A and B are shown apart, each in its own frame.
Chain A
């Protein structure tokens, strides 16, 4: 029995090596899907502020990622070199988070005003959020990490948020290592997750972000140089500061779900109101100008008034990750 079992096993190994090797060779040598890349198209209600977006093809996610600049309803520029899951840009410095050229790893590129990559940074997880301070000095990136979620609950996930020096492309900090305070006292927990940084347009050292712990999603205010953050209030995810630095657009979780409504918060009172968009939006909103938000539902880019009035308007089809180039 031993020798017969052994012979059959050896025969099976040979068959598996041939089939597996053949399939991989066929996949490697076969024609790649390099047809036409996805391309965004401007919708009827156009904006005179230029908007940088990441192109998506709903029918074939493998073609996603091209970076385009849309202005006055026309595509003004497109990048030859960038393929991003998330993109942001300000004052001549941009961040593009995507899959590395090897196709097996994640990477971020710091790019210049010609949309040419200058530096690359290895990422340790799936790209999620990117921001650059208005003066182009600091950048911020959030990734989703697998493999170290510490409890086996169905909602367990883990994020890391990095701060970058945009000139050198070096990582200068990780929010998980900043000191946290709440109501004046030190605050710490094993399940701290940070995501969605937004920088103060008037002072790039100051930023806001979300701190998730337990069922709470705190709005925190922090200092890059001071390496510290403090908790302001609960229920604010993916904050985005207005150009005047006085309001924050954010996604407000519908309790107990992974669905969100977009809200706008007044920093003076910490009170907030919903905007007219009624669909669930999982995005870090962007301020197109002092009165208008732009955001994506993962398929198209929409604009809506920040004061809660009006209706959402389709701005750019087949695009995500909008960046206003006007401010």
Chain B
């Protein structure tokens, strides 16, 4: 079976060839990457112009934008676990993901048709985020089920890199349209809708819903089976390690606020911080994924976590030159590249085939709860004892979390190999 698949893979286009590490990624992963790229272009186009649109075309106060932005981020969180389990239960990952992508596309259509009130925009944004919550777990399960277990990290790296290309292109396309046709937000929304529809079309027409590792026989899993993942001897240690690492990691938003306080920026330079981090992530996601498949996901994940120490070090210094700042942002991009995708790949390797989306949904939720706890705790520490001491405490907590996570992750991996 594997031989056949591998020789078929040889016929696929090579994106990357270097020494013995050839990038052979299943067609399904490339197609899912294309779906995410197109959908992210669509989403980021709207996200980029929405504040200007609300204030300048609808005459809203910027405070209203703050409220809508909050809805934007908050609405997605809770549906992930439910959609993950449902797609495992029905064995219809592609269809459930399709509902999520479809909701977001419908939201863009609604923006063109009825986005001329502030309340309407708020509702549309909420629908869009629910769509994102629905699609994430089944989409990641499809990536996992499309890949051989020893190529999972590469597959997730390719997908995440393509995804971030979309997130970079979206604002550029939106600005390009507004440059050609000033204040014509309708043109931005129309083009955004077309990208969303194309993304959905690539999913429907080109993504295989029952990829190589997808379960075809036996009874569909029950809710009890999904819940028992919390006690599973390989998945439970993974969840515990992921929770610890996410609580001990200062969130990216906090890092940017900290850098802004530490370094005397020209105000106009600030947006470049995000761009440089994104470029670093985009460039590193694929090679780091390949490395994880070659030398092991656990060491790469832990090394990626350790890159945060570089960032913490910069937050603790008082004067930062341009070179140090670039090193810091490259490290931050490397940290993102070596953690989220590799962690999902590790989960994909450990989870039974019939519970992939459920497990990934649980993992995403645990990590985002961990990040919330981290943000609240870091904010409270900053308030109580100052930025420097807060960073020192988080550095100590991260060292502890890595020391605890290492044996847990190795045990998780070992248990999966035994099983």
Report chain B residues within 8 Å CB of A146: 51, 65, 69
B55 sits at the interface (CB 8 A): yes
Q: Compute how far the CA of A148 lies from the CA of B56 in the bound complex, rounded to whole angstroms.
A: 21
- CB of A124 within 8 A of CB of B267, answer yes
Tell which of A61, A104, A189 has the most Cβ of chain B within 10 Å. Answer: A104
- CB of B187 within 8 A of CB of A23, answer yes
Looking at the assembled complex, report how far the CB atom of A6 sits from the nearest CB atom of chain B, in whole angstroms: 7
- CB of A103 within 8 A of CB of B266, answer no
- CB of A61 within 8 A of CB of B65, answer no
Contact with B along A63-101 (1 / 0, CB 8 A): 010000000000000000000010000000000000100
Which chain B residues numbered 29 to 65 have a C-beta less than 8 Å away from chain A?
51-52, 55-59, 61-63, 65
Residue of A nearest to B70 (CB): A154
- CB of B63 within 8 A of CB of A157, answer yes
A13 sits at the interface (CB 8 A): yes
Looking at the assembled complex, report how far the CB atom of A284 sits from the nearest CB atom of chain B, in whole angstroms: 13
Looking at the assembled complex, report how far the CB atom of B112 sits from the nearest CB atom of chain A, in whole angstroms: 10
- CB of B55 within 8 A of CB of A126, answer yes
Looking at the assembled complex, report how far the CB atom of B77 sits from the nearest CB atom of chain A, in whole angstroms: 8
Q: Compute how far the CA of A91 lies from the CA of B325 in the bound complex, rounded to whole angstroms.
A: 40
B184 sits at the interface (CB 8 A): yes
Residue of A nearest to B274 (CB): A147
Pick out which of these stretches binds chain A: B16-24, B130-138, B191-199, B288-296: B191-199
Residue of B nearest to A105 (CB): B175
Which chain A residues numbered 110 to 165 have a C-beta less than 8 Å away from chain B?
122-124, 126, 128, 144, 146-157, 160, 162
Contact with A along B61-77 (1 / 0, CB 8 A): 11101110111011000
- CB of A176 within 8 A of CB of B261, answer yes
Q: Compute how far the CA of A270 lies from the CA of B391 in the bound complex, rounded to whole angstroms.
A: 37
Looking at the assembled complex, report how far the CB atom of B184 sits from the nearest CB atom of chain A, in whole angstroms: 4
Tell which of B182, B186, B195, B258 has the most Cβ of chain A within 10 Å. Answer: B182
Contact with B along A5-19 (1 / 0, CB 8 A): 110110011001001
Q: Compute how far the CA of A32 lies from the CA of B184 in the bound complex, rounded to whole angstroms.
A: 9
Looking at the assembled complex, report how far the CB atom of A301 sits from the nearest CB atom of chain B, in whole angstroms: 16
Residue of A nearest to B191 (CB): A20
- CB of B55 within 8 A of CB of A27, answer no
CB < 8 Å neighbour of B206 from A9, A33, A155? A9
Residue of A nearest to B190 (CB): A23
A124-B268, A146-B69 given; A189·B194 CB < 8 A: no
Tell which of A58, A61, A213 has the most Cβ of chain B within 10 Å. Answer: A61
Q: Compute how far the CA of A149 lies from the CA of B62 in the bound complex, rounded to whole angstroms.
A: 13
Report chain A residues within 8 Å CB of B65: 126, 144, 146, 157
Q: Tell me how many residues of B have a C-beta within 8 Å of chain A.
A: 64
Question: SS class of chain B's interface: helix, strand, loop or mixed?
Answer: helix
B414 sits at the interface (CB 8 A): no
A47 sits at the interface (CB 8 A): no
Report chain A residues within 8 Å CB of B266: 171
A9-B206, A27-B181, A151-B376 given; A258·B63 CB < 8 A: yes
Contact with A along B347-382 (1 / 0, CB 8 A): 000000000000000000000000010011011001
Q: Tell me how many residues of A have a C-beta within 8 Å of chain B.
A: 59
A150-B257, A156-B70 given; A103·B178 CB < 8 A: yes
- CB of B382 within 8 A of CB of A188, answer yes
- CB of A99 within 8 A of CB of B56, answer yes
Residue of B nearest to A151 (CB): B375
Pick out which of these stretches binds chain A: B97-105, B155-163, B248-256, B397-405: B248-256
CB < 8 Å neighbour of A9 from B71, B202, B264? B202
CB < 8 Å neighbour of B257 from A6, A62, A148, A154? A148
Looking at the assembled complex, report how far the CB atom of B296 sits from the nearest CB atom of chain A, in whole angstroms: 34
- CB of A148 within 8 A of CB of B70, answer no
Q: Compute how far the CA of A176 lies from the CA of B260 in the bound complex, rounded to whole angstroms.
A: 9
- CB of A157 within 8 A of CB of B261, answer no
Report chain B residues within 8 Å CB of A5: 205-206
- CB of A186 within 8 A of CB of B205, answer no
Looking at the assembled complex, report how far the CB atom of A259 sits from the nearest CB atom of chain B, in whole angstroms: 11
- CB of A190 within 8 A of CB of B194, answer no
A9-B206, A27-B181, A149-B253 given; A190·B190 CB < 8 A: no
Q: Compute how far the CA of A155 lies from the CA of B61 in the bound complex, rounded to whole angstroms.
A: 13
- CB of B180 within 8 A of CB of A28, answer yes
CB < 8 Å neighbour of B70 from A64, A152, A186? A152
A174 sits at the interface (CB 8 A): yes
Report chain B residues within 8 Å CB of A289: none
- CB of B267 within 8 A of CB of A171, answer yes
Tell which of B178, B194, B197, B258 has the most Cβ of chain A within 10 Å. Answer: B194
- CB of A150 within 8 A of CB of B205, answer no
- CB of A154 within 8 A of CB of B205, answer no
Q: Compute how far the CA of A150 lies from the CA of B62 in the bound complex, rounded to whole angstroms.
A: 17
B201 sits at the interface (CB 8 A): yes
A272 sits at the interface (CB 8 A): no
Tell which of B58, B66, B175, B372 has the most Cβ of chain A within 10 Å. Answer: B66
Q: Compute how far the CA of A85 lies from the CA of B206 in the bound complex, rounded to whole angstroms.
A: 47
Report chain B residues within 8 Å CB of A267: none
A49 sits at the interface (CB 8 A): no
Residue of B nearest to A126 (CB): B62
- CB of B267 within 8 A of CB of A191, answer no
Looking at the assembled complex, report how far the CB atom of B46 sits from the nearest CB atom of chain A, in whole angstroms: 13
- CB of A27 within 8 A of CB of B187, answer yes
- CB of B67 within 8 A of CB of A154, answer yes
Report chain A residues within 8 Å CB of B201: 8-9, 12
Q: Which 10 A-B pairs have the closest CB atoms?
A: A157-B66, A103-B182, A5-B205, A154-B70, A27-B181, A189-B383, A144-B62, A28-B181, A27-B184, A61-B59
Additional A-B contacts beyond A13-B198, A24-B191, A149-B66 (10; CB < 8 A): A24-B177, A126-B65, A146-B69, A147-B274, A148-B253, A152-B70, A157-B65, A189-B382, A190-B378, A282-B63
